[in-house]
Structures are given as C-alpha cells and as structure tokens.
Structure 1
Amino acid sequence: MMFKMDIRNKEVMAGYGLPVNHTVWGGESKMSDEGQRYKTSHIIDSEDMLLNWKPLMQINTGSMLGLSENGHWIIEEQTGVRVLDETWKFNRLMVLLERQITEFRQELINAAITCTIDNDIVREFPFYEVVKVGFEQKSEYWVELALNWWIMLPQENEEIIKSLEKIEISKWASQKLRHRIKKELRTRRAFLSFTSGSGCNGVEKR
C-alpha cells in the first residue's frame, strides 16, 4: 500500500510548521524545548527530502521504529529514515518476530503513551506485513516465528493464506512444519466458517 508522505525540502520546511529556531545537522533537527516532540531526518534514497517523526522503540542496534507526523510508520537507520510504504521494506522489521506479539504490542502501547500518540494508531500497526515477510524467507526459523504471530491476529488476510498454502506443499519445509501449517489453516478455516454462519453470540443466522 502506498502512502502520501509528509516529505519536504529545506526551502519549504517553514511552511509545514517547523520551529523557526531549528538547525539541521546531518539531517536531524536540534530544537528548543518547546519543539522537541519531533525529530527531522533525511529520507534515504532522496536528494533533499526531510521527514518529521517521533522515535518509538529500538528495533535492534542502529535502527529505531517511529511514526511520522502524518501517521506513517518509519524506520531510522544510520543514514536517515525509510518510510515503510512498500512490502519489501518490512524486511527491516522481521527481527520483531523474535519477540512475543503480545509483548511487542504492549511495548508499542507504552511508547505511544510516552510520546502522546493515540493508541488507535497502535492497532493500525502493519502486523500482517511483518508476518508476510517472515513467511517469504523460506526459512523454518522465520516461518515458525511468523506463525506464532499470525495465530494471534484476529482478522483474515488472503495473501497470508496463499503464502501458507505454498509453504504447505513446498519441498524445503520439513514435514513437522507442513503439518503445523495444515493444522493452523484448518483451525482458522473452521473458525471463519463458524463466525460467518453465526451471530455475535454464536447463534446461527437465519
């Protein structure tokens, strides 16, 4: 999914509400106390584009997950920031799969509270995109971790189902992994079949 990014060049920064008393060093703004809520960083692979964003949590050494001023997820690297607006960019978040999804979600909520960000934004975190890149690795390690996340996600995603169906018949996956995927798919389909034919209280629709 593509997003309209809140990017800007140095000539038009004042028109986007940046404090007048900022100085840019290496793509990062140093502001007065009143303006410390956002960082301003260079967007990687752009000539002179800058982005306002809030750091939320460290992903690993040298990278930070954040949220832009306009609500787009970004990751900070040594040379600047990347807006996570294409599926392939979520490879940089795959390491999150090594955490329990419940723990990660709580960390995200705590970070949002600290940064005065609406918790509704946390619910919009692209969990499925992270799961999808895990399934695409052709690695039992990452697929198992991605499965642990997927079974905890409430909504359905057809792309994820297709990815799992491919792994289920793949030659590189072990029999143990294929059996687990088959079981999880069967459980999910049974649940979806039940909920689609029942009301909120499990009463069959008529």
Structure 2
Amino acid sequence: MTDALKEKLLMELVNLDAPWVKKNEYASEGGYLNWLPVAEFSDGRFLLGLTSKGLWARSTEFAVQTVADEAVYVFFLPILEEAPEVVRDKMVGGLKRYGLSQEFMDTFPFEKIVVTGLKSQSEYWSNLALKWVLFVPRSNSLKVEVEALSKAGETQKIRHAARKIIKQLKVC
C-alpha cells in the first residue's frame, strides 16, 4: 500500500460525515475503535469495513479486528469464500455508499490473505486461495507458495491446480 494513498484515505475519513460505529477492539483491554461497515460476506457472518484510522477491519458480534499484521490474516480468510469479482463489487459498492473512492481497495491486503490461504495446510483454504491467485498482485512470495503447493499440496487435486496456475503465471 502506498503511503500517499493511505494518507489520502485518512484525509477523506477525517472529513467523512458517516455513522461511525464504536466497538470493542479485538485483543485489547477496554480499547474501542470507530469503524464503518463496507461490505457483508458469508451471509452476514463476516463484515468488512474501515476504521477511523484507515485500517481495514472485520467485525465479529463483540469486537472489531484490524488487518494489522500477518498473525491476523487467517481471520480474514472467509473473504476467499466468494468470487474475486463479487468481493470487489461489494467493496466498491460499500466505499461508494460513503462517498469514498474505489481506489482505496488498493489498501486492502488481498495478496497477503491469499498467501495465508496457500500456506494454511488446509485443503479447503488452499483450494480457495488458488482460485484467487490470478486476481491479486503477484509477488515473489505468492509464486513461491503456489510452487510449494504444486509439489507438496495437501491433495493431488491441489497439486494439479497449483501446476495449472504456475503455467498461467508464466504466460501473464
């Protein structure tokens, strides 16, 4: 994420006249975050939004958890359960509902969440993450994880899907 884009997002959030929701911050003792729900996934069980500090977050019934470091990316894997196009449309629609630019989607760590799915050692998450590989920026770590799955994936189906994606990555 570029610093300029994050700065622009923060400026727009400061000036935003929106119904901020105050919720407990996950894993903090008594801390609160103001956040805006942007998109709903998994039949309403997974709410994705932005905090007033410009961080993407997910809301549970009791708390808001930000995408702050690698340790929490696993909690954002449910986003992979929907097609990339659907996720994009829902997020863009949510941003526009608040008058925010769709360019702020670039601040969401899609690639890191996909890499987390590829590393998960779960057939379910690996399979979903493989479906996303061609829709996210392709870093070296993403390619390394796809190659690792092609050799040592949980199942033959995963290994074959990873090999197919490697071929597609070489064409792109």
> After TM superposition, is the score higher than 0.5?
yes
What is the aligned-residue identity percentage? 22
Q: Which residue of 1 aligns with 2:158?
A: 177
**Cα offsets for 1:35-76 (capped at 9, x unmatched):** 752112221221232222111122345542110112110111
Which 5+ residue runs of structure 1 have no aligned equivalent? 2-16, 18-34, 192-206
RMSD (Å), alpha carbons: 2.4
Runs of 4+ in 1 over 6 A off after TM superposition: none
Task: Tell me: higher relative CO, structure 1 or 2? Use CA pairs within 8 A at least 6 residues apart.
Answer: 2
**Cα offsets for 1:94-117 (capped at 9, x unmatched):** 122121101110111011111222
**Cα offsets for 1:116-146 (capped at 9, x unmatched):** 2221111322111221222122233322221
More helix by share: 2
Equivalent residue letter for 1:178: R
TM-fit CA distance, 1:180: 2.5
Alignment of 1:145-184 (within 5 A): 145-153=128-136, 155-170=137-152, 172-174=154-156, 176-184=157-165
Equivalent residue letter for 2:38: L
Please give the alpha-carbon distance, in whole angstroms, between the structure 1 residues aligned to 2:30 and 2:124. 39
Contact 1:63–1:75 (CA<8 Å) still a contact in 2?
Answer: yes
Please give the alpha-carbon distance, in whole angstroms, between the structure 2 residues aligned to 1:152 and 1:185. 14
Higher Cα radius of gyration: 1
Question: Structure 2 length normalisation: TM-score?
Answer: 0.80
Pair 110,46 (structure 1): closer, same or farther in 2 beyond 3 Å: same
Q: Which residue of 2 aligns with 1:76?
A: 59
Aligned residues: 158
